[in-house]
Structure 1
Amino acid sequence: MEVNPAQLLENGYIILPQVIPPKQLDHLRHSFETLVERQKIVWVEERNTEDPPGGVWETSAQPRVFFNEVVDQETDNTVQFCLHQNTLGVSQKLMSATNAAVTLMALMCNPVKDHGPASWHRDIDPVHQAPLNGMQMDMIKNAPGYVQWNIPLYDDDVFWIVPGSHRRPNTTEEHQHLLTRPQKPIPGGIPVELNAGDGVVYSHIMLHWGSNYSTKLRRTIHLGYRAFGSPVYPIVNHYYWQPDFAQKLSRSISDQFTHFSQLHSAQCDLVESIFRAVETKKAGPFLEGIYTLHPGEEGRMVCLVFLSKLVDKIRTLKQPETQKMSVEERASAISEHRLNFYLFEDFAQRFTVDEANLIWQRFATLYELIQKETSRAVLDLSSRVERYQLVNMPINFNLPDFIQSWEN
């Protein structure tokens, strides 16, 4: 399938026909429905005492099946589709990457009762990741390091977007709209009308909207892919699946996910080497590591901000009070999802408490600069909309300044 990466960078999305080969559509529908029924059983078992009998299936506005958790050999065509040239292959091309990996495999379903529209949003959080303009410019100047897909099994027009909004912050009008009328159509917003089997691949930084979560049958595959060997260090650089899930599937699938795990492990080795260089104040190895992790000359400070957030998570996980918490509490303490938390905890095991604290201290000046801008720009940290207002990267602070700050 031919795609033009420049189109994604310009518009923020590309609509592609017949991403699901027509001969596979009915089989995929059958397999995914089997997985939905399996997940319903899980939700019944996991429901809280105050929940209705069906649990999440009955309470959620958009029941979402992470199908890697319920797949087996009988239904592994669902996972095989995630490895298809029309999905994985296209994603790799769009990200200008030597390798790409699946990060997320989900199926979005209709609710059992009408819930109406969701709120307009971007799938990023500048306060917890990096200032918005930094993330946007890193993508535009280099390449997207991560892409998302919606691929409906039945005709779908729920998804709306604001084309081009991945390239800029919210306008004043958009900001007010998100604060006061977040569930209404926004000026410049358009529906993405997809026939069954078509797909839209898009930048998750873009403003988008679930326009109507009604009881109309909806089964839409939602996928994420990250780059390896691209010009950037991706915004989403972890997996929402456990490595062992693929071991019970076909050999080709198992081998592919083993490869994905190896790619991630190699990246963790590189990131650890960067942190060790910071710890020991070795500027040369530090710069070598950053240049390898983020080959693109522009945007390397965004990469460093991402790494600073990872350091903060490691430090939090290493604290004695955190280690006494439950898994759910520890995941919440670092603002991560139950499906990817294990990767952060595994990585934290590479460091002692003292090492984590020392590396964190080396980032102190960068933390202070970002906190200063956050305090200026974000009026309410509890508001997702207000956090989009953290736009600007630190001024006059680059890699040499970061190295110099180790002496402070």
Structure 2
Amino acid sequence: MTVDPQQLLDDGYIILRGVIPDEKLEPLRVSFEKMVARQKAIWAKERQPEDPPGGQWELAHQPRLIFDTLVDEETANTVEFSLHEHTMGVSRQIMRAEAAGITGLMFMCSPTTDRGPANWHRDIHPIDQAPLSGLQMDLLNNAPGYIQWNIPLYDDDVLWVVPQSHSRVNTEEENRCLLEDAHKPLPQSIPVELKAGDGVVYTNTILHWGSNYSAGLRRTIHIGYRSFGGPVFPYVNRFYRDLSFTACLSSGAQDVFHDLKQRYDEEANVIETTFRAIINKDEPVFLDSLSRLHPGETGRIVCLILLSKLVYKMRTGTHAVRPGYGGDMSYDEDLKPRFTAQELDILWQRFATLDQKIQADQEVYVPGFQSGPMHYYFNESPEAFGVEEIIASWN
């Protein structure tokens, strides 16, 4: 399956027909229902005394399986589909990457009772990522470093989007509507109408909406992919540190995961080299390693903002404003043991000026993000402050 990556840059999403080949659709339905049964049993067992008999299956507005935790030989086709040319292969094309690594394998189900609509949002939280305008600039000038998919096993029109909103900040009208009622259609929004086996791939910087979580049957695969060897450093850059779940997969599928893990480990080493160059104020090594993490010449400041968030997580672990701080990164677990507490303090000092540049003196708030009020700017990137200015701030 061949796609035009420019379509995602232009519109923020691409609808693809027949992502699941006809002969794979029914076997996937069977396997995923087995996983649903397993997860329902787990949630029933884990229920609290005050919970209904089904626990989270009955409580959740959108029951969501993490299906790499449920896979076995009988259901291996679920994970192996994420490696298919129609999914991983297309993702690699769109991200202009050597490889597409999986960041999450999820399966979205209908609730047991009608729950209505969710909130409009962008899956962005600048407190542990970067300001929206920076992420947008990086994507439009280079390529997406992260994309996600919805692939329904049955017809699905729950997802709505505002086309082209991925390339701009909210309009005044959108902000007004979001503040008045974030559960209603936004101006210019449209439903993403998918038949069973179709797919939509999109950047999660786009304004999107779960329009109706009803009890009607919904079974939709939701996968995230990050780039390896692409032009940008992904703002969602986690990968599986433990590949034990792949033991039930075919040898070919295991080889793919092990190749991705090797790429992840190599990238971790480059990040360590970057951090040590910053500690030592070694400008040539710093610039070389930065260019390896973010080959695109435009947008490297975004990479450095993301690295500053990683350092914060390595030093602090969490943030009072966002308890799940840094959930889209996993390098902290690999890199923190390589640095002393003193080295981490020095690293954070090197990023202090940059961190100040992306914060306001008072709390700010923009609707439509996965964040409440905070000091970090939602939209604005630092002006006239780039790699050279960061190097100068070390002295």
Alignment-derived partner of residue 251 in structure 1: 251
Equivalents in 1 of 2:200, 2:246: separation in Å?
A: 26
1:305 to 2:305 alignment: yes
User: What is the 5 A alignment of 1:198-209?
Assistant: 198-209=198-209
Question: Match of 2:358, SS?
Answer: helix
How big is each residue's C-alpha offset from its partner over 1:269-305, in whole Å with a ceiling of 9 and x where there is no partner?
0011100001111111111111111111110101110
How big is each residue's C-alpha offset from its partner over 1:370-395, in whole Å with a ceiling of 9 and x where there is no partner?
123x7474379x98365796211111
Question: Match of 1:209, SS?
Answer: strand
How big is each residue's C-alpha offset from its partner over 1:322-371, in whole Å with a ceiling of 9 and x where there is no partner?
8xxxxxx99x755244xx77653232112111111111111111111112
Tell me the C-alpha RMSD between the 2 structures.
Answer: 2.2
AA aligned to 1:109 is C
1:294 to 2:284 alignment: no
Equivalents in 1 of 2:171, 2:241: separation in Å?
A: 36
The alpha carbon displacement at 1:46 in A equals: 2.1
How big is each residue's C-alpha offset from its partner over 1:81-115, in whole Å with a ceiling of 9 and x where there is no partner?
00000000000000111111111111000000010
Question: Match of 2:338, SS?
Answer: coil
Unaligned runs of 5+ in 1: 323-328
User: What is the 5 A alignment of 1:5-404?
Assistant: 5-239=5-239, 242-317=242-317, 333=323, 335-337=325-327, 343-372=331-360, 375=362, 377-378=364-365, 384=371, 390-404=378-392
AA aligned to 2:356 is E
Q: Answer whether contact 1:60 1:111 (CA < 8 A) is retained.
A: yes
Question: Match of 1:349, SS?
Answer: helix
Equivalents in 2 of 1:113, 1:181: separation in Å?
A: 22
Question: Match of 1:232, SS?
Answer: coil
The alpha carbon displacement at 1:253 in A equals: 1.9
Equivalents in 2 of 1:309, 1:166: separation in Å?
A: 22
Q: Answer whether contact 1:316 1:334 (CA < 8 A) is retained.
A: no
Aligned residues, how many?
393
Q: Answer whether contact 1:175 1:385 (CA < 8 A) is retained.
A: no
Question: Match of 1:384, SS?
Answer: coil
AA aligned to 2:337 is Q
Alignment-derived partner of residue 3 in structure 2: 3
AA aligned to 2:106 is A
Question: Match of 1:220, SS?
Answer: strand
How big is each residue's C-alpha offset from its partner over 1:165-208, in whole Å with a ceiling of 9 and x where there is no partner?
00000111111211221001111110000000000011110000
The alpha carbon displacement at 1:121 in A equals: 0.3
Equivalents in 1 of 2:9, 2:366: separation in Å?
A: 30
Equivalents in 2 of 1:24, 1:365: separation in Å?
A: 53
Alignment-derived partner of residue 326 in structure 1: none
Q: Answer whether contact 1:115 1:212 (CA < 8 A) is retained.
A: yes
Distance 1:191 1:333, change over 3 A: closer
Equivalents in 2 of 1:183, 1:88: separation in Å?
A: 32
AA aligned to 2:342 is D
Q: Answer whether contact 2:226 2:237 (CA < 8 A) is retained.
A: yes
Question: Match of 1:89, SS?
Answer: helix
AA aligned to 1:59 is L
AA aligned to 1:400 is E
Q: Answer whether contact 2:310 2:329 (CA < 8 A) is retained.
A: no
Equivalents in 1 of 2:330, 2:366: separation in Å?
A: 33
Distance 1:383 1:192, change over 3 A: closer
Question: Match of 2:239, SS?
Answer: coil
Q: Answer whether contact 1:103 1:240 (CA < 8 A) is retained.
A: yes
Tell which deviates more after alignment, 41-50 or 64-73. Answer: 41-50
Distance 1:390 1:90, change over 3 A: same
AA aligned to 1:128 is D
Q: Answer whether contact 1:147 1:225 (CA < 8 A) is retained.
A: yes
Moved over 3 A (4+): 340-343, 374-380, 385-389
